[in-house]
Amino acid sequence: MTTQQLTQQIQQKKSFLCIGLDVDVTKIPQHLLELEDPIFEFNKAIIDATHDLCVSYKPNTAFYEAYGLKGWQSLEKTINYINQNHPEIFTIADAKRGDIGNTSSMYAKAFLEDLNFDSVTVAPYMGKDSVEPFLAFENKHTILLALTSNEGAFDFQTKLSGGKELYKTVIETSKTWKNSENLMYVVGATKAEYFTEIRKIVPDSFLLVPGVGAQGGSLQEVCKFGINSNVGLLINSSRGIIYASNGTDFARKAREEALKIKSEMEVILMKNN
């Protein structure tokens, strides 16, 4: 998917919501556990109930790997279901991978080609040759961890590195890499005051923003400092939407929560135009 197609989808749906499919079988409705593939059935129901309200789905691979072979199968079925039924949706493999060059190529192939995700999250610690193999895929996107939404972000990411915070060095350096136009960045919503600084470095890039909702970030604050003329934001919510209820009404309740955020986004987009 091109960035332009993503932007068009945002304008059409009046939403820049990304729903995190972080499925923990201990938290999903009990009645699903009787089915052959509870994780996929859960995702399918969530997708059926929300696909017109969001522009992106983001399964975090940890939640699938935790169930071994069966989990990997659920992930495959989920991405195939989205690609077949809702090809307009921007899909993100939240994998946070990164390795030496030839090894990163294997990860890139796995997520962007074989599983056919539109994008994958990547950790920057190993530098240029660990990220460029992901950037080589045309019309695919690499979402680089810049400033994450967790407490540990302050351990290294905000430490001064060459006179500026490491996350700024990461973003600035990444702009010099080959095919850097395929880069997006993870910036946590719990740190809204940093968006002004980040927009000075990457005014046009898309930012994937976790941490709204359960983790305490504010949608209004993030948009105030982070939105650009093409919107340029994908706001992720996981637990607040997918675990809105653990009864048989879970999909309907998930839709209600997604609709609340989508409506708030619609107002923001009207003001932004």
Question: Chain-centre distance of CA 214, in angstroms?
Answer: 15
Residue 96 is a catalytic residue:
yes
Q: Which long-range contacts (CB under 8 A, 24 or more apart) does 44-48 make?
A: 44/78, 44/81, 45/250, 45/251, 46/19, 46/21, 46/241, 46/242, 46/250, 46/251, 46/254, 47/78, 47/81, 47/82, 47/85, 47/86, 48/251
Structure-block tokens of residue 144: 């680089």
CB nearer its own copies, residue 44 or residue 70: 70
Q: Which stretch binds its own copies (CB under 8 A): 7-15, 49-57, 125-133, 216-224?
A: 125-133
Decide if residue 262 touches its own copies (CB under 8 A): no
Q: State in angstroms the smallest separation of the CB of 4 from its own copies.
A: 30
Helix axes 250-272, 38-50, angle to 10 degrees: 40
The residue from 11, 83, 116, 161 that contacts its own copies (CB under 8 A) is: 161
Chain positions 32 to 71 lying near its own copies, rule: CB under 8 A, are: 60, 62-63, 65-66, 68-69
DSSP 20: E
Q: State in angstroms the smallest separation of the CB of 126 from its own copies.
A: 5
Decide if residue 166 touches its own copies (CB under 8 A): yes
Q: Choose the catalytic residue: 70, 77, 96, 128.
A: 96
Chain positions 169 to 228 lying near its own copies, rule: CB under 8 A, are: 169-170, 173
Q: Cα separations (Å) of 34 from 31, 38, 42, 81, 252?
A: 6, 7, 12, 21, 20
Pairing mode of beta strands 160-161, 164-165: antiparallel
CB nearer its own copies, residue 41 or residue 132: 132
Q: What is the set of active-site residues?
A: 96
Interface positions with its own copies (CB under 8 A): 22, 24, 60, 62-63, 65-66, 68-69, 72-73, 76, 96-101, 103-104, 106-107, 109-110, 114-115, 123-131, 145, 148-157, 159-162, 166, 169-170, 173
